[in-house]
């Protein structure tokens, strides 16, 4: 069965490049978009998500980033806007603005800090879904939000609203993936929210990944996904094992600190994150680069 919305198999949660004064580096942002599409095989890009440092971006910056990314993209990949908030009113306003600015879809996170119950989560996402026509990808990440959206809640929302099209699930409990798949419509998409869980999640119903490591290993991750879907399970497993150390290294410190450090080593952006995040040291950056080099050598 065709998905109710196909954002592709490999989606990068893109970093927001910054200058030394912590302002957004729009020239590097444009180059990053082209690099992810042309060199890293991405089907779609998430802008202003967690990896894009959305907690420290202003709404004006988010909107300018979306405009810049759409311009650099030239229609080649789907552009998904991070439009969540712990305030339902703000999430609704951000979603409406994302639609007005031409985002292809939005990524909407479970309200954080407030710790709503499941009824509150349903009311939150119902308000967002009623406010826009564009596709909505739910983002379930208990580690950052303090609460977990249950499979029953996800399935209810998927059945109630046609524009709630997918969930990004960041939880290592694979039983939850099975339950989401069993309870939700067949055309509702599940994306892994953790690189290291992509292959295990695909084996029980996920269709792809919203990735961080794809900034530097997009082609290899895409190969793993394609091999699995083609029934080449051993080849997919072997690629997973090669990539696994990198999957873990890019989360050796709070995201996006490591991936920005690695991208800076590759000369793609400056090694700058906004406070309260702080940059990795030089030795840690070298370890990341060595890990990536080993992956590239093993996959030649």
- Exactly one of 70, 78, 97, 168 is catalytic; which is it? 168
Q: Are 116 and 76 in contact (CB under 8 A)?
A: no
Give the C-alpha separation, 43 to 27, whole Å: 22
Q: Return the number of other C-beta atoms located less than 10 Å from residue 243's C-beta.
A: 23
Using only C-alpha atoms, the chain has a radius of gyration, in whole angstroms, of: 18
Q: Judge whether 168 counts as a catalytic residue.
A: yes
- Exactly one of 139, 191, 222, 260 is catalytic; which is it? 139
Q: From the DSSP assignment, how many helices (H) and strands (E) are in the chain? A: 12, 8
Q: Judge whether 139 counts as a catalytic residue.
A: yes
Give the C-alpha separation, 25 to 16, whole Å: 8
**Cα 235–chain centre separation:** 25
Known catalytic residues?
Answer: 139, 168
């Amino acid at each position: 069965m065709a998905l109710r919305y196909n954002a592709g198999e490999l989606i990068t949660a893109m970093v927001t490049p910054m200058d030394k004064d912590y302002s957004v580096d729009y020239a590097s942002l444009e180059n990053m978009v082209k690099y992810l599409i042309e060199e890293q095989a991405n089907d779609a890009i998430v802008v202003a998500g967690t990896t894009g440092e959305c907690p420290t971006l202003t709404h004006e910056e988010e909107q300018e980033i979306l405009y810049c990314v759409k311009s650099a993209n030239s229609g080649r990949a789907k552009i998904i806007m991070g439009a969540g908030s712990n305030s339902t009113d703000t999430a609704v306003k951000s979603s409406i603005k994302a639609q007005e600015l031409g985002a292809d879809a939005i990524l909407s996170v479970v309200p954080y800090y407030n710790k709503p119950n499941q009824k509150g989560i349903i009311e939150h996402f119902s308000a967002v879904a009623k406010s826009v026509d564009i596709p909505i990808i739910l983002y379930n990440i208990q580690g950052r939000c303090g609460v977990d959206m249950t499979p029953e809640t996800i399935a209810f929302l998927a059945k109630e609203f046609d524009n709630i099209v997918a969930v990004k699930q960041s939880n290592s409990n694979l039983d939850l993936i099975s339950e989401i798949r069993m309870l939700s419509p067949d055309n509702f998409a599940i994306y892994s929210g953790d690189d290291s869980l992509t292959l295990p999640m695909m084996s029980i119903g996920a269709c792809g990944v919203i990735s961080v490591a794809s900034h530097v290993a997009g082609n290899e991750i895409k190969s793993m996904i394609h091999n699995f879907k083609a029934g080449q399970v051993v080849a997919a497993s072997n690629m997973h094992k090669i990539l696994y150390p990198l999957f873990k290294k890019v989360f050796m410190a709070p995201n996006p600190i490591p991936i920005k450090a690695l991208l800076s080593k590759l000369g793609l952006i400056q090694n700058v994150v906004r406070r309260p995040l702080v940059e990795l040291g030089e030795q840690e950056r070298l370890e990341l680069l060595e890990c990536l080099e080993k992956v590239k050598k093993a996959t030649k």
